[in-house]
A and B are shown apart, each in its own frame.
Chain A
Amino acid sequence: MADRYSKELMKHFASPKNIGKIEDSTLAATGFNESDGDGVTFYMNVEDRVVKDIKYTIKGCPRAIAASSYTSEVVKGKTVDEILGMDTEKIFSDLGIDDSFKCISMPLESIQEALRDHEKGI
Chain B
Amino acid sequence: MNVYLDHAATTPLLEEVIDYFSVVLRDYPGNASSLHYEGLRARELYEESKEKIASLIGAKYDEIVFTSGGTESDNIAIFGSLKAIEKTNPDKRHVMTTPIEHEAVLESFKELEKRGYTVDYIPVDENGIVDLNWIEDHISNKTALCSVMLANNEVGVVEPVEEIAWFCRHNGVVFHTDAVQAMGKIEVDVQKLGVDLLAGSAHKFYGPKGVGFLYVREGLPIDPIVYGGGHEGGLRSGTENVTGAAAMAKALEMVVSTIEERSAQYQEWQKKILDICEEIGDYKLNGHREKRAPGSLSLSFKGVNGEALMAMLSQDGIAVSTASACQSHAHKKGASHVLKAMNCGKAYINGTIRVVMGHENTEEEIDYFCSKLKERVDFLRRIQNG
- Bound state CA distance, A36 and B324, in angstroms? 9
Q: Which residues of A contact B305 (CB under 8 A)?
A: 36, 38, 59-61, 64
Q: Which residues of B contact A91 (CB under 8 A)?
A: none
8 A Cβ contacts from A18-76 to B? 19-21, 33, 35-38, 55, 57-65
Residue in A19, A33, A65, A101 whose CB lies within 8 Å of B308: A65
Contact A61 B308 (CB under 8 A): yes
Size category of the B interface is 20 to 34
Contact A19 B383 (CB under 8 A): yes
- Bound state CA distance, A86 and B328, in angstroms? 21
- Bound state CA distance, A59 and B346, in angstroms? 14
Q: Which residues of B contact A7 (CB under 8 A)?
A: none
A-facing mask of B296-318, CB < 8 A → 1, else 0? 00000001110110011001000
In the assembled complex, the CB of B337 is this many whole angstroms from the nearest CB of chain A, namely: 14
Contact B350 A58 (CB under 8 A): no
Q: Does A16 contact B (CB under 8 A)?
A: yes
Contact B384 A61 (CB under 8 A): no
Residue in B304, B311, B330, B384 whose CB lies within 8 Å of A13: B311
Q: Known contacts A5-B311, A37-B350; decide if A59 and B384 are in contact (CB<8 Å).
A: yes
- Bound state CA distance, A57 and B157, in angstroms? 36
Contact B383 A61 (CB under 8 A): no
- Bound state CA distance, A37 and B327, in angstroms? 10
Q: Which residues of B contact A37 (CB under 8 A)?
A: 346-347, 350
Contact B346 A36 (CB under 8 A): yes
Q: Which residues of B contact A61 (CB under 8 A)?
A: 305, 307-308, 326, 328
Q: Does B329 contact A (CB under 8 A)?
A: yes
Q: Is the interface of A mostly helix, strand, loop or mixed?
A: mixed
Number of interface residues of A (CB under 8 A): 30
Q: Does B40 contact A (CB under 8 A)?
A: no
Offer 22 A-B interface pairs, CB within 8 angstroms, sorted by A: A10-B311, A13-B312, A16-B383, A19-B386, A36-B324, A36-B326, A36-B346, A37-B347, A38-B305, A57-B384, A58-B383, A59-B383, A61-B305, A61-B326, A64-B328, A65-B383, A99-B329, A100-B329, A100-B330, A101-B326, A101-B329, A103-B326
Known: A10-B311, A100-B330. 9 other contacts (CB 8 A): A13-B308, A35-B328, A35-B334, A36-B327, A36-B335, A37-B347, A99-B330, A99-B331, A106-B328
List 4 A-B pairs, minimum CB-CB distance, nearest first: A102-B328, A21-B386, A57-B386, A59-B384
Residue ranges of B at the interface with A (Cβ–Cβ < 8 Å): 303-305, 307-308, 311-312, 315, 324, 326-331, 334-335, 346-347, 350, 380, 383-386
